């Protein structure tokens, strides 16, 4: 069994609501509509953690009763980058929470023989280098797709990146921490490991198929 390296920057959300919804999500009998809804709800909860360290600045406001000093976000703004296609299931919930964020998309598919990530699409905001980026994908399996997507975002000039996924395998965490040690991983669970086909066990099945009802 592969183990998670001690040097990995990883946050596992053990909140009861997260674990409850994740268990419902894993169940084979969960419908496409239910899977989509649960993914959106979990993405909201993961977004809270992924944005925990955003900078704030004081601001004077007027409530209906009196003046006070509140706080608003300051500094660089956010960009969510979805790794297609399954990343869009997480993206929707994140945008519910931060509707002003810019959005990028990176399309990658995994070569079934080499398990390497091959790019077929990339579209990022023009000012992405001036933003903090949160990359989203439901699963971190081998880590090749995530590492490739992060490399492309770094090539665009981004320096502050967080990777968010529903579940991760130790092998993927290891690969990502070795290729991009500066990137923090936020996930709901670290599963046992990968099978011979590169699927996470016990996992959630193929997230894209379950989100979009294509299988």
C-beta of residue 131 within 8 angstroms of C-beta of residue 78: yes
In the chain, % of residues over pLDDT 70: 94
User: 101-157, pLDDT tens digit by residue?
Assistant: 999 999 987 777 776 778 899 999 999 999 999 999 999 999 989 999 999 999 999
**Does residue 1 have a pLDDT over 70?**
no
User: Is residue 112 marked as binding?
Assistant: no
Cα–Cα distances (Å) from 88 to 103, 140, 193, in that order, read 10, 15, 24
The response to whether 85 counts as a known ligand-binding position is yes
Q: Are 167 and 187 in contact (CB under 8 A)?
A: yes
| Domains assigned to the chain | 10-206 (3.40.50.2020)
143 annotated as a binding-site residue:
yes
The whole-number pLDDT of residue 108 equals 83
pLDDT > 70? residue 7: no
Of residues 40 and 1, more confidence is placed in 40
More confident residue, 1 or 83: 83
Distance between CA 171 and CA 8 in Å, rounded?
Answer: 12
Distances (CA, A) of 103 to 136, 185, 202: 11, 19, 31
Q: For the whole model, what pTM was predicted?
A: 0.91
User: In the prediction, which pLDDT does 34 show?
Assistant: 96
> Is 204 marked as binding a ligand?
no
Arithmetic mean of pLDDT over the chain? 91
pLDDT digits (tens, 9 = 90+) for 187-209: 999 999 999 888 999 999 989 89
> What value does the mean pLDDT take over residues 35-56?
93
pLDDT tens sequence across 74-108: 876 899 999 988 899 999 899 999 998 999 999 98
Q: Is 206 annotated as a binding residue?
A: yes
For residue 170, say whether it is annotated as part of any ligand binding site.
no
Q: Tell me whether the omega of the peptide bond preceding residue 85 falls within 30 degrees of 0, making it cis.
A: yes
- Give the model's pLDDT for residue 208: 87
Query: Per the annotation, does 161 bind a ligand?
Result: no
Contact 185, 166 (CB under 8 A): no
- How much is the pLDDT for 74? 82
As a whole-number percent, the residues of the chain with pLDDT over 90 amount to 76
Q: Is it the case that residue 164 has pLDDT exceeding 80?
A: yes
List active site positions. 110, 114, 206, 209
């Amino acid at each position: 069994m592969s183990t998670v390296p001690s040097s990995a920057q990883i946050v596992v959300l053990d909140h009861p609501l997260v674990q409850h919804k994740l268990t419902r999500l894993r169940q084979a009998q969960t419908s496409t509509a239910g899977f989509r809804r649960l993914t959106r709800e979990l993405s909201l909860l993961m977004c809270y953690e992924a944005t925990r360290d955003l900078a704030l600045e004081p601001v004077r406001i007027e409530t209906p009763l009196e003046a006070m000093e509140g706080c608003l976000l300051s500094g660089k703004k956010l960009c969510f980058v979805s790794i297609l296609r399954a990343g869009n299931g997480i993206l929707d919930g994140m945008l519910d929470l931060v509707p002003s964020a810019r959005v990028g998309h990176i399309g990658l598919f995994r070569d079934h023989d080499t398990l390497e990530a091959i790019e077929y699409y990339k579209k990022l905001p023009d000012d992405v280098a001036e933003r903090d980026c949160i990359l989203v994908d439901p699963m971190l399996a081998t880590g090749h797709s995530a590492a490739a997507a992060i490399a492309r975002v770094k090539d665009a000039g981004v320096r502050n990146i967080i990777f968010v996924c529903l579940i991760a395998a130790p092998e993927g965490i290891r690969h990502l921490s070795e290729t991009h040690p500066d990137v923090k991983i936020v996930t709901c669970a670290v599963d046992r490991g990968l099978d011979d086909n590169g699927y996470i066990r016990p996992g959630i099945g193929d997230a894209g198929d379950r989100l979009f009802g294509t299988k």
